[in-house]
Amino acid sequence: MSNHTFEAQRLLHELGFESEIYAQILGPGVEGRVRPIAALAEYASTERWLLYQCSIGSPVADAFGADPGRKLLDYHNITPAELVERWIPPLGDESRLGRQQLRSLAPLVPFAFADSEFNASELRDFGFAHAEVVSVLIESANLDVGADPDALDRLELAKSDGGSDWLFVGQVAPHKAQHEIVAALACYRKAYPDRARLHLVGRPMGSAYLDSVVRFAGSLDLASAVELPGSVPAPELSAYYESADVFVCLSHHEGFCVPIVEAMARGLSVVAADVAAVPGTLGDAGVLLKRRDPVYVAAAIHELLADRATRASLVRRGLDRAKLFSLDAARVAFRRAITEAVSERHA
Amino acid sequence: MPGEGGAVPSVSNVELSGLPALMERIEVESKRLGDVVWGVQDEVGLEAAYEQAATSALRAPLLAERSVALRRIAKRVVPKALVPAARRVVGAVDGVSRRVVGARSARPRSS
């Protein structure tokens, strides 16, 4: 259950709606805030509005489709099966199921939201008649919280040996391609005297891919240069953003990529592969890579770090662009979209 | 503020003249690296190293699962009184197989 969902509920309350959250899996810490999906039918009514937040195949989609209530859908993208099934076969099945479910839900949902134009375009391809972009309600704490001083000291101490710090934040998962950033680091360290370090922050999606990244880094003699601290508390995450020299994203698939916004908001320059929703999120506030081979990525990072003036301009653009995705801006867009969705035109 | 329909514009108002030149330098530098620093062999070696890491990582949980399953079966079929002797036999077989595998992997390989 994401903070986006709770923030959306808060905004619905502000708009005067009664709102309950239902979910298939009730994780820890949501007691009293989230109901099991089995309870959805208890209050079935043609007068009620349902807003389905979709990011994977789930029995929730079936319950949503079968309910007589009026329907809205909030799409946060489904990672294509072919990018994950080698590592977690059941996830590939869930991904395919999710895309099938979206196709069958399309005629039932007159109004859908997506957090990027890339996702909205996918919805239109699935057959949704109206798909509007409404930015993700980004947790402001991640952007505002100060850096953990101990973590910052540790990271700054490592800098005293020289070398740049590369950062990627996101689930350690095959479609995020952390191994390709490791490959680029290997090339970079061979090409330049800079003893660069790479920090891959994020919780692992299963153990096998994480294990492969660790083994790969080890086989390239980069074990001490590549850090995988897992998911870290917000103040520690701030320390990573603050001490990094460049944010590197070589994902094969992103439905939006919140960490790019976080990097821009913190004045960190961004180098990212030009795929999926990434160009829509980054805009022209960073270096969009047309190729992703290690040589090209290494050259891009080297040239960006060497060109202080352009880097400073990109950082200014990033700070400016991050405001477009601020929680306040997203709240306004969400309120407007909900108001329009439940108006007579779509009811 | 997002534009009409919530969509976010892709072009910033902040002026920036250096980006096209930067992109050109990246092209030139990547060509230089490809010519003098990072050849085809490096690329092939990198791919092989990753594939090996991936294969090992994917095999590890399978091996662990198989080991647990074998232990479960052994518990059912080996009488309790014979467990210590069976453990000794398994240990000995394991030791021999490790030595054989170790000797094989230490052998120089022809290129």
* Residue A247: per-residue pLDDT: 98
Q: Is A304 within 8 Å of B46 when comparing Cβ atoms?
A: no
Task: Compute CA distances A313 → A319, A320, A322, whole Å.
Answer: 10, 11, 14
* Residue B4: per-residue pLDDT: 40
Domain parsing of chain A, residue ranges: 2-138+327-341, 141-324
**Which chain A residue is nearest to residue B18, measuring alpha carbons?**
A310
* Residue A215: per-residue pLDDT: 97
| A50-54, A266-270, B72-76, range with the lowest pLDDT | B72-76
The interface residues of chain A toward chain B in range 136-175, judged by CB-CB distance below 8 A, are: none
- The 10s digit of each residue's pLDDT in A124-153 is 999 999 999 998 887 655 677 899 999 999
Nearest-CB residue to A284 (from B2, B10, B54): B10
Chain B residues in contact with A8 (beta carbon < 8 A): none
Chain B residues in contact with A333 (beta carbon < 8 A): 2, 6
Note the pTM of the prediction, 2 decimals: 0.85
A–B interface: beta-carbon pairs under 8 A:
149
Provide the CATH topology of domain A141-324: Rossmann fold (3.40.50)
* Residue A17: per-residue pLDDT: 93
* Residue A91: per-residue pLDDT: 92
**Which chain B residue is nearest to residue A316, measuring alpha carbons?**
B14
Q: Is A187 within 8 Å of B42 when comparing Cβ atoms?
A: yes
- The 10s digit of each residue's pLDDT in B4-63 is 445 666 666 656 668 999 999 999 999 999 999 999 999 999 999 999 999 999 987 766
| Pair A81, A93: CB distance under 8 Å | yes
Measure the CA–CA gap between A242 and A177, rounded to whole angstroms. Answer: 23
- The 10s digit of each residue's pLDDT in A14-27 is 999 999 999 998 88
Res B110 pLDDT > 50: no
The CATH architecture that domain A2-138+327-341 belongs to is 3-Layer(aba) Sandwich (3.40)
Measure the CA–CA gap between A174 and A253, rounded to whole angstroms. Answer: 10
> What amino acid occupies position A87?
W
- The percentage of residues in chain A with a pLDDT greater than 70, rounded to a whole number, is 97
Say how far residue A128 (Cα) sits from the centre of its chain: 23
Res B109 pLDDT > 70: no
